Amino acid sequence: MTHTYQLGQQAERHAAALLHQRGWMVLNRNWRCRWGELDLVLLKGSRLLVVEVKGRSARDRDRGGLDAFGAYKRRKLARAISCWRADHPEHAHQMLQVVLALVPLNRRMAPVRWLAVDHLG
């Protein structure tokens, strides 16, 4: 495993733990299809939440991961969500929200930035 992969997994675990504390249940982690990957898919009541996690250290120069979530990445994410929904028809009726979690690494008390994603494609 590379160091970058391990940091990404750390960021995803941190985001999942915070959401679990808020009552969300993790349905899938790192769910893959031919169109892409969904970092976290969670459920709370009748709501679904898809979280794209970007873990960054203080030295990264892409605005904490925000620049890594451009139009191409959003299109891939939209296709992967469609694929997930087709694979999980039992959740077809549930409201879906997509969130970008910018997780600071190597900074103990820095909060996670949660950004609602309004437009994917």
Please report, for the chain, the start and end positions of each structural domain, with discontinuous segments joined by +.
Answer: 3-116
pTM for the whole structure: 0.87
The full DSSP string for 23-63 is: T-EEEEEEEEETTEEEEEEEEETTEEEEEEEEEE-TT--SG
CATH of range 3-116; options 3.10.50.40, 3.40.640.10, 3.20.20.140, 3.40.1350.10 = 3.40.1350.10
The per-residue pLDDT string of the chain (121 residues; one tens digit each, 9 = 90 and over) reads 677 778 788 899 999 999 999 999 999 999 999 999 999 999 999 999 999 998 877 655 656 556 666 788 889 999 999 999 999 999 989 999 999 998 888 766 678 889 888 876 6
Going from the C-alpha of 57 to that of each of 1, 77, 110, the distances in angstroms are 18, 23, 11
